[in-house]
A and B are shown apart, each in its own frame.
Chain A
Amino acid sequence: MTRAPGPGEPSPAPVEATLRVNGVAHRLHLDPRTTLLDALRERLGSMGTKKGCDRGECGACTVHVNGRRINACMTLAVMHDGDEIDTVEGLARGKDLHAVQRAFIEHDAFQCGYCTPGQIMSAVACIRECHAGSRDEIREWMSGNLCRCGAYANIVAAVEAAAGAEAANASV
């Protein structure tokens, strides 16, 4: 969490940046210390992206920037002027959930649900990268997303099913 400047500490000059979140451009004046995660949550009110460790260790804040998965807590918002940022809120098409979201529900791939948005964003990227060819490969390439409830067995099953469904669709 960005704390307010202490006594004698000047507040840094705000920096202007445009964040394009789920296809919508937001022009913001940002304290340069604001992480992308805090900008999404505190400035844009987009609460789907979760803050877990805030240290790049748990993956709860996983979003896609220009199509690549990253940890939003480990990057400053001002570094992303003009970048395309996709969050879990942008996955569904109206009431139609994304295939990975459906697979997580069908396979009961969560308990408390706090890590789930990060797991799902990571899984969408993992499948797109072609790193979901086997359970071992899924475990390795999803290892940046921790689940304290220990729902890993069902998460792996959900990712495997979604990857399989995608491959089946692609071969039709």
Chain B
Amino acid sequence: MHPFSYVRERSVDDAMRAHAGDPAAAYLAGGTELINWLKEGIALPSRLVDINRLPLAQIEVTPSGLRIGALARMSDVAAHPAVRAGYPALAEALERSASPQLRNMASMGGNLLQRTRCPYFRAESELPCNKRRPGSGCAARYGLNRSHAIFGWSEACVATHPSDAAVALCALEAQVRIAGRGGERAIPIGDFYRLPGDTPQRETVLEHGELIVAIDLPATARARRSWYHKVRERASYEFALVSAAVALELADARIQEARIALGGVAAVPWRLTAAERAIAGAPLERGPLMAVLATAFAEARPLAHNAFKIELAKRTLVQALEIAGAMR
């Protein structure tokens, strides 16, 4: 492992101060991603700033909804009564992620900052990857790309984002609260992630030294009728091949208002805003839903090995809508 120094801080200000001025400093929370990057040589920080003792682990009901501290652990968020009752898509996404041990370690802020599971990016012996070494090329573009993107990819990168929670948070219209030099700002999660374009190494709008401090969720009727449906290649402890998060308001067994995001199909949680509009008024029946959603996938651009994801994502989405529609 590359050598680094280690400091432990107890406040956001102290942590940002310890990070500032060192272009190769990194924050350390649960460690379940960063420590793998250190072992693989994907990250080469000069200094780790341990933020685990910052007071950011609370899960609080607020007048407008719920504030989840960035250091709340995935297991604690999934088990929290306010999350289970008010945001079932998030509880489900978290409980279908990783393993119980990893969920006890991994923080919510770190979950959002996971990097792709693309095997070329994660290779033990380095292979061409523009995320890992900008300019080195994309081995997946014409390589094995069965698990890769069908939306929003570029010639520079065809990777997908691995977070389940981020997909649910997108359908739940979450905001990411970020502390930086100028104070705090809140960004809708849909604007937090960046498409790869020519700079796939820049995955979020987070600037060096900035720190996610919380995730804010608005309280809505839709959020209470929300679900996350994950399809993967083994029954548990696996990343999504595709997934769908939905939040619904119903009237007379018809969809009145919907929020829809897909996982495993792009470098960002893929919000289907056109489908959200098209689906308003549709009955909760498989046939009509499949017909309405056909056009939502028109802009999909499959790679050599993953055209199956279009039909799979459509069916996964319809199942998510059926499950959410049948809730309560």
Contact = CB atoms under 8 A, between A and B. Distances in A.
Interface of A: 2-3, 5, 9-13, 15, 32-33, 35, 54-56, 59, 62, 68-71, 73-76, 78-79, 81, 122, 125-126, 129, 131, 139-141, 143-145
Interface in B45-101: 48, 50, 52, 75, 98-101
Task: Count chain B CB atoms within 10 A of each CB in A76, A131, A140 and give the residue with the most.
Answer: A76
A3 B3 CA distance: 10
A157 B252 CA distance: 47
Contacts of A69: 100-101, 104
Contact of A75 (B3, B5, B31, B48): B31
Given A3-B1, A15-B6, A143 B237 contact: yes
A79 B104 contact: no
B236 interface: yes
Contacts, number: 94
Contact of B101 (A54, A81, A122, A140): A122
Given A56-B36, A70-B105, 10 more contacts: A9-B3, A11-B3, A32-B5, A33-B1, A55-B36, A56-B102, A59-B101, A75-B105, A131-B100, A144-B99
Q: Which 6 A-B pairs have the closest CB atoms?
A: A144-B99, A32-B6, A143-B236, A143-B237, A33-B1, A68-B104
A121 B99 CA distance: 14
Interface string B17-39: 00000000000101110011011
B5 A13 contact: yes
Contacts of B32: 56, 71, 74
A17 B161 CA distance: 36
Interface residues of B, number: 29
B308 interface: no
A79 B100 contact: no
A5 B39 CA distance: 14
A131 B99 CA distance: 13
Given A70-B101, A122-B101, A144-B101, A79 B39 contact: no
Nearest to A80: B52
A49 to B, nearest CB: 13
Contacts of A141: 100
